Amino acid sequence: MKLIIDVGNTLVKCAVFQDSEIVEHVSFKLSRFVSELKSLRKAFPAIEKAIISSVGRLNERQLHVLRQHFKLLQLNSDTKLPFKNLYATPKTLGVDRLALVSASVKFYPDKNVLIIDAGTCVTYDFITSENHYLGGAISPGLRLRYKVLNNLTANLPLLDTKAPEHFIGNSTNEAIHSGVVNGLSREIDGVINDYGAKYPDLTVILTGGDAKLLSNQLKNSIFAVSNFLLEGLNFILDYNSK
């Protein structure tokens, strides 16, 4: 058994894998990291190996607990990966993006794949059918867009995320929902169109916390996939265990 850990900007997501199958999945705040790990260790004593991808901040105590209980692989730019990384600054490339691209290699081998992760930020990552990772883009996610409108203006309210009822907002709240949600969905469609113009056989994966909401707004055909990052981390762990 393997423990797969993704420390994001908002939540920690953990999955217990038996080979390639998820047998347990939990999410929690970083402040509960140690207690949740101990609970998982108690519930699944057969876990031997673990991998962690962290874009959030882990302290030494949290890492110590991990190393104490598991044979740990900490994903970074030096980790052996199942693709050729042609990014100009590989040491600045987010480990979450490495995991997403790895998942695409596992599930969509020998294809041109655009992976869109809609979370705190929206990341776009592209890998060719020759297994070459070229890069992509980073853009503000839905919650960031709502917060910026509130933080940098005098009178606009901070709203909960909501799919707009119409593209013409007939109130301030509806105008914000239209601008934020429709604006990001049109951005995503535009990016897909740009890649599709150069790579007509393009496969598009949409994942992340806002994937479900955004998938209903998009005009392009996409595969909406949950747990894609965790699947990629599991694949990297297996790839480094050979």
What CA–CA distance (Å, rounded) separates 107 from 104?
5
Q: 76-107: per-residue pLDDT in tens?
A: 999 999 999 999 999 999 999 999 999 999 99
Q: Is 89 within 8 Å of 179 (Cβ atoms)?
A: no
Give one DSSP letter per residue of 81-140, joined into a string.
Answer: -SSEE--SSGGGS-HHHHHHHHHHHHHSTTS-EEEEEESSEEEEEEE-TTSEEEEEEEEE
Q: Is 103 within 8 Å of 238 (Cβ atoms)?
A: no
What is the biggest distance separating any 2 CA atoms in the chain, rounded to whole angstroms? 59
Domain 2-74 falls in which CATH fold?
Answer: Nucleotidyltransferase; domain 5 (3.30.420)
**Domain coordinates in residue numbering, the chain:** 2-74, 84-233
* Tokens describing residue 88: 């100009």
Query: Binding site annotation covers 92?
Result: no
pTM, full prediction? 0.94
Query: Binding site annotation covers 7?
Result: yes
Query: Binding site annotation covers 190?
Result: no
Handedness of CA 18, 224, 211, 111 (dihedral sign): positive
The pLDDT, as a whole number, for residue 56 is: 65
* Tokens describing residue 156: 């606009």
Query: Binding site annotation covers 108?
Result: no
Query: Binding site annotation covers 23?
Result: no
Q: Which of 138, 144, 51, 141 is nearest to 87 (CA)?
A: 138
Rounded to a whole number of angstroms, the distance between the first and last alpha carbons of the chain is 15
User: Which stretch of DSSP H or E encloses residue 50?
Assistant: strand 49-54
DSSP 41: H
The pLDDT, as a whole number, for residue 59 is: 82
The pLDDT, as a whole number, for residue 62 is: 86
Class of the CATH-defined domain 84-233: alpha beta
Per-residue pLDDT for 63 more than 90? Answer: no
Q: 178-199: per-residue pLDDT in tens?
A: 999 999 999 999 999 999 999 9
Return the active site residues.
Answer: 96
Mean pLDDT of 155-162: 97
Q: 47-59: per-residue pLDDT in tens?
A: 999 999 987 678 8
Query: Binding site annotation covers 97?
Result: yes
Query: Binding site annotation covers 89?
Result: no
The pLDDT, as a whole number, for residue 60 is: 84
Query: Binding site annotation covers 203?
Result: no
Residue 227: phi and psi, rounded to 5, are 60, 25
Mean pLDDT of 23-34: 93
The pLDDT, as a whole number, for residue 3 is: 97
